[in-house]
Amino acid sequence: MRAYRKMASGVVLGLAAVGGAYAQKPDPYLWLEDVGGEQALSWVKEQNAVALKELQAQADYPGIHARLKTILNSKERIPYVTKHGEYYYNFWRDAQHTRGIWRRTTLEQYQRPEPQWETVLDIDKLAAEENENWVWHGVSCLYPQGEKCLVQLSRGGGDAHVVREFDVARRAFVADGFNLAEAKSDIGWIDADTIFVSTDFGAGSMTTSGYPRIVKEWKRGTPLSAAATLYEAKNDDLGVGAYKDFTPGHSYQFITRQIGFYASELFVRTGDGLAKVDKPDDANAYTVRDQLVIDLRSDWSVNGTTYKQGSLLATDFKRFMAGGRQFDVLFTPTPASSLDGVSATRSALLLNVLDNVKNRLVELRHVDGAWQRRDINAPAFGTLAVQALDPIESDQYFLTVTDFLNPTTMYLANAGSDQRSALKALPAYFDAKPYTVQQHMATSKDGTLVPYFVLMHRKAKPNGKNPTVLYGYGGFEVSMKPFYSGTTGEAWLKQGGIYVLANIRGGGEFGPRWHQAALKENRQRAFDDFIAVAQDVIKRKITSPRHLGIMGGSNGGLLVGAALTQRPDLFNAVVCQVPLLDMQRYSKLLAGASWMGEYGDPDDPKQWAYLGKYSPYQNVFKDKHYPRVLFTTSTRDDRVHPGHARKMVAKMKEQGHDVLYWENMEGGHAGAANNDQQAQMWALTYAFLLKQLK
């Protein structure tokens, strides 16, 4: 349950840097930002037809597509669950349930090879009855019984969703309950008859980033217009939210003002007022029973002591609110290690540590005012994930173990013990015996050592002829860790491909310092790291530019877009998914304004000076030769605007470059709304890579 840390058509003049000064320059493709416009959608359909005709005709496509559909719809997938009351709930999609079913079982049943599931809500049936393109977007249930739930449904898979109160016992929506119209809402239970609500309340209630800026308390039986305002954030903040900690004896209500992506203020409700929790703005803070836990993104000097960036601190919450500033240091990073996550059980904190991009677990217990520590005996290589069953009432937790070659396995474990029992495991979707995993270091332009993983056939020869795809992200403190993927195994490794995963700066592999090293004016370091990994695999003769492709999505789409325009000589294929590409206008499109803490403000001439140097859309030219590119996005992506990819394709085609474009007409930022769409997207992707790189 509780886990913390890693949250107009027409031509309009834009701004461009010319000779170091700002000048007006028209964008002839601005009409493609009109997401649902008739002219824009007509263009999209034309591009889709071209891409589908070519890629679906590839000899590899039918077999890959059929196999991926089988994998993605497999009934042998792990049904991940969340506990509400006495039941364990799972949302499930397969070939018979395209949109999915929300279902539940007991823990005793869940431990069986084939549990008996009880369907609670059928989204396919609901969509058919209401003639709506519903996509499941999550649920929030009232603790501890979980019989009252707030179901979130998105039209087509976008971030905006409707909220409907659902009565689990009656298997029915509550007609006059807590229901919200479509918006990027944030909701949370206070009690059976009261919720926190942040939504689009009308004019002036949303931030410039497109998220709610007002949080209210809404009581059952009253109209939304009568909800009492608790807090208002500023117009240029990212947004606001609220939640309740239900721990008996330590129950508090909190409001979070999210100033930017990495800066926030935390308030605790005290009667009719709010008291600020005096943490650093860029630190995460939360309560665990009587303790306030603070996760530092920067060094913090307080009472004559400086606590290191990336450290985890704890102190008595009531004492802290009364002015006390004595802390226990629960974790201190090293050059090779960082904190990857924290989970709470009833009596322990479980720290997930990332050590040279491999996870290990540490258990902490607060006993008689002191913290006791022990290392948990868990697999030494790969990725570990911890999910407490019930952090208030239970010490049990799910431990999920995965790596590149061993199918993901879920265990049931208990805090205080290394004993665990295997619950669920993926089948072996591909034969892993022929493959090996290596970890190498590349030297970036400034001398920084950058790790990366190579997944390859044991018999692959270092002759520079191996088709290889290099994947990266490099942003928002997101770590790229080992993972098991039937899609990668079947569609790429089995076809003779090599897969490379880069751990470049901008990510979280080595904590906040690794992330902050590539923020704003230093963004080029992430691109330099990625290019250095490409050069290193070429130097090792794992592959060569003729056989090397790159792939990335969202911020990773910006990454491969920059690599495409800066070093086109290194690659022969690029897959650019749901990307940011026009860094001149990104802050004006959908949620873009919320990312200025990551990239900078293009309307500030000093910041545009560095943004303009790498913005792919402004740095693609007619007289250069580029590798072939497949751009993919989604019409329903209301986070990263599809106009980025659309405009880049239009510009590159007008310049005479050979590119393909496929836009799923629904699916949100994930690019696909169901398993069948996922299968199509990945089959098109790997058919393209195989054609270009073999």
pLDDT at 1: 31
**From CA 188, how far away is CA 36, in angstroms rounded?**
32
* pLDDT at residue 450 greater than cutoff 60: yes
Contacts (Cβ under 8 Å, ≥6 apart) of 653: 659
Residue 66, phi then psi, degrees to nearest 5 = -65, -40
Q: What's the pLDDT at 380? A: 76
Helix axes 524-539, 555-566, angle to 10 degrees: 60
Report pLDDT digits (tens) over 185-219: 999 999 999 999 999 999 999 999 999 999 999 99
Give me the helices (H) in 265-384, please. 317-321
Interval 288-308: pLDDT, tens: 999 999 999 999 999 999 999
| pLDDT at res. 669 | 56
pLDDT digits (tens, 9 = 90+) for 577-633: 999 999 999 999 988 999 999 999 999 999 999 999 999 999 999 999 999 999 999
Q: Is the pLDDT of residue 261 over 50?
A: yes
Instruction: Reply yes or no on whether the pLDDT at 5 is more than 50.
Output: no
Tell me, what's the pLDDT at 665?
A: 81
Give 420-441 pLDDT, tens digit per residue.
Answer: 999 999 999 999 999 999 999 9
Helix 643-654 crosses helix 38-55 at what angle (to 10 degrees)? 70
Quick one: pLDDT at residue 23? 47
Q: Which of 545, 569, 574 is nearest to 557 (CA)?
A: 574
Decide if pLDDT at 9 tops 50: no
DSSP state of 227: P
User: Which residues lie closer than 8 Å to 215 by C-beta, 6 or more apart?
Assistant: 186, 196, 197, 198, 229, 230, 231, 240, 241, 242, 255
Report d(CA 460, CA 456) in Å as an integer.
Answer: 7
Q: What is the mean pLDDT of residues 229-248?
A: 97
* Whether residue 144 has a cis bond before it, omega within 30° of 0: yes
Q: Distance (Å, rounded) from C-alpha 44 to C-alpha 691?
A: 23
* CA 219 vs CA 163, 176, 247: distances in Å: 15, 12, 22
pLDDT at 354: 96
Cα 541 to Cα 504: distance, rounded to the nearest angstrom: 21
The pLDDT tens digits of the residues spanning 94-120 come to 989 999 999 999 999 999 999 999 999
Q: Is the pTM of this model over 0.85?
A: yes
Number of helices (H), then strands (E), in the chain: 13, 42
Domains in the chain: boundaries: 3-59+429-693
Which architecture characterizes domain 3-59+429-693 according to CATH? 3-Layer(aba) Sandwich (3.40)
The three-state secondary structure class of 337 is: strand
Which pLDDT band, with edges at 50, 70 and 90, does 313 fall under?
Answer: very high
pLDDT attached to residue 518? 98
What is the per-residue pLDDT across 36-71, written as a single tens digit (0 to 9) for each? 999 999 999 999 999 999 999 999 999 999 999 999
| Percent of the chain residues past pLDDT 90, beyond the cut | 91
* CA pair distance 8, 614, nearest whole angstrom: 26
pLDDT tens track for 372-384: 999 999 987 789 9
pLDDT greater than 80 at residue 672: no
- Please tell me the predicted confidence (pLDDT) of residue 668: 54
For the chain, the average pLDDT equals 94
Q: Give the active site residues.
A: 554, 669
Quick: pLDDT tens for 490-503.
Answer: 999 999 999 999 99
Asked if residues 669 and 549 have their Cβ atoms less than 8 Å apart, the reply is no
Q: Are 189 and 142 in contact (CB under 8 A)?
A: yes
User: For strand 180-183 and strand 161-167, is the pairing parallel, antiparallel, or unpaired?
Assistant: antiparallel
Rounded to the nearest 10 degrees, the angle between the axes of helix 605-614 and helix 524-539 is: 20
Which residues have C-beta within 8 Å of that of residue 689, sequence separation ≥ 6? 467, 469, 492, 497, 549, 551, 573, 575
Q: Report the alpha-carbon distance of residue 63 to residue 68 in Å, rounded.
A: 9
- DSSP secondary structure letters along 375-444: EE---SSSEEEEEES-TTT--EEEEEEE-SSS--EEEEEETT---EEEEEE---SS--TTEEEEEEEEE-
Check residue 671 and give its pLDDT. Answer: 52
Smallest CA-to-CA distance from 122 within 151, 85, 150 is with: 151
Q: What is the distance between the alpha carbons of residues 201 and 230, in angstroms, rounded to a whole number? A: 14
Looking at residue 20, what is its pLDDT? 35
Question: Is residue 16 within 8 Å of residue 358, measured between CB atoms?
Answer: no
Start-end of H helices in 324-378 = none
In this structure, the chain runs to a length of 694
